[in-house]
Amino acid sequence: MLPPAPERRSRYPGRLRVPDRAALAGIMYVLRTGAAWRDVPAETVGCSGVTAWRRLRNWTESRRLAPPARRSAERTASRGRSGPGRLRRGRVPRPSPQRGESRGPSPVDRVRAGSKHHLIVDRHGTPLAVTLTGGNRHDVTQLLALLDAVQPIRGLRGRPRRRPRRLYADRGYDFDRYRRLLWKRGVKPLIARRGVAHGSGLGKVRWVVERAFAWLHQFKRLRTRYERRAGLHQGLLELAFGIICLRRLRTAF
């Protein structure tokens, strides 16, 4: 579902507006191939890269990309393939240029600036919320923010669930303070303890997060962050999120 186009002025209408579908095709070309905006083939796509960038900026600022992604997740849940009963939490660092918003020293080499993708998924690996932070932000700082970002999702029957029953996470989230906050919200934390000799034992259930990151980073534009504006990269993340939910919906029939 595309956002509605603004009404054209009857007096001095100016140049004819590029259709939203053509602009979306240009954005999808950059998202899939990782090409620069100036390299978008206008003859094939039907839209120049500058126009696609501006349309992405406008849609991101007006929050037009997030609601379709949520509706895709809701439709996937209505087919019995998704649900917030059990959530998995994960993150992955992304390299990026030196300037821009939501960047910080990489946790790997502490030299290059980088960003992090924080993702929360259901038990089937369907992404429910995604955020972007600097590479120097601790993972646990986004735990409650991602949990609150999960919208009520309708299942097969009954009222929409607003909170999951359980939440799985690795050792990076091993803080008693956040465990208590999760218990207060009615969520059972299943977080790996640091210092355990034989592993956390969450590998058999937490692998769906890594698979979701693999799905997300099949879009080459998301492997390395090039956008200086954090909102534009967040918009591309939400667009990829909606496409993944749509693919899950197709396999639910």
Asked whether 53 and 229 are in contact (CB, 8 A), the reply is no
Structural tokens at position 32: 């899939």
Considering the domain architecture, whether residues 130 and 182 belong to the same structural domain is answered as yes
Q: How many distinct structural domains can be found in the chain?
A: 2
Neighbours of 215 (CB within 10 A): 19
- pLDDT over threshold 60, residue 98: no
Q: Is residue 129 part of a domain?
A: yes
Q: How confident is the model at residue 183 (pLDDT cuts 50, 70, 90)?
A: very high
User: Tokens representing 50?
Assistant: 């500058």
Mean pLDDT of 234-241: 88
DSSP code of residue 161: B
Residue 141, classed as helix, strand or coil, is helix
Q: 142 and 51 share a domain?
A: no
| 46 and 134 both lie in a single domain | no
Does residue 43 sit in the same domain as residue 114?
no
* C-alpha to C-alpha distance for 129 and 121, rounded to whole angstroms: 7
Q: Are 150 and 133 in contact (CB under 8 A)?
A: no
- Predicted confidence at residue 84, as pLDDT, reads 47
In-domain check, residue 200 = yes
Structural domain range at position 32: 20-62
Q: Return the sign of the alpha-carbon dihedral for residues 115, 108, 96, 247.
A: negative
Supply the Cα-derived Rg of the chain in whole angstroms. 20
Q: Is there a domain that residue 174 lies in?
A: yes
Q: Which segment, 29-33, 60-64, 142-146, 240-244, is predicted with the most confidence on average?
A: 29-33
Look at 13-22, 155-164, 180-189, 225-234 and tell me which has the smallest mean pLDDT.
Answer: 155-164
pLDDT at 206: 77
Is 99 contained in some domain?
no
Residue 112 within a domain:
yes
Give the mean model confidence (pLDDT) for residues 66-85. Answer: 50
Does any domain span residue 1?
Answer: no
169 in a structural domain: yes
- What pLDDT score does 83 carry? 47
Phi, psi of 122 (to 5 degrees): -90, -170
* Residue at 178: amino acid letter: Y
| 197 within domain boundaries | yes
* Same domain flag for 49 and 156: no
Backbone angles phi, psi at 149, to 5 degrees: -75, -15
CA nearest to 102, candidates 227, 238, 236 = 227
| pLDDT tens string 201-210 | 677 777 888 8
Alpha carbons 239 and 133: distance in angstroms, whole number: 18
What is the pLDDT at residue 112?
A: 67
Quick one: 121 and 213 in the same domain? yes
Q: pLDDT at position 80, please?
A: 47
Q: Does 6 or 59 have the greater pLDDT score? A: 59
Those residues with Cβ within 8 angstroms of residue 9's Cβ, 6 or more apart along the chain or in another chain? none
**Confidence grade of residue 32 (pLDDT, cut at 50, 70, 90):** very high
The residue-averaged pLDDT of 28-54 equals 91
- For the segment 113-133, what is each residue's pLDDT rounded down to a tens digit? 778 888 888 888 888 888 888
Question: For residues 14 and 104, which has the higher predicted lDDT (pLDDT)?
Answer: 14
| Element (DSSP H or E) covering residue 127 | strand 127-134
Mean pLDDT of the region 146-155: 77
If asked whether residues 51 and 128 sit together in one domain, one would say no
- Both 35 and 115 in one domain: the answer is no
pTM of the model: 0.76
Residue with tokens 């956040």: 178
Instruction: Give residue-wise pLDDT tens across range 44-60.
Output: 888 899 999 999 998 88
CATH at 124: 3.30.420
Amino acid at 173: Y
pLDDT for res 25: 92
Is it the case that residue 99 has pLDDT exceeding 80?
no
| CA dist 24 → 30, 47, 188, 227, 253 (Å) | 10, 9, 40, 17, 26
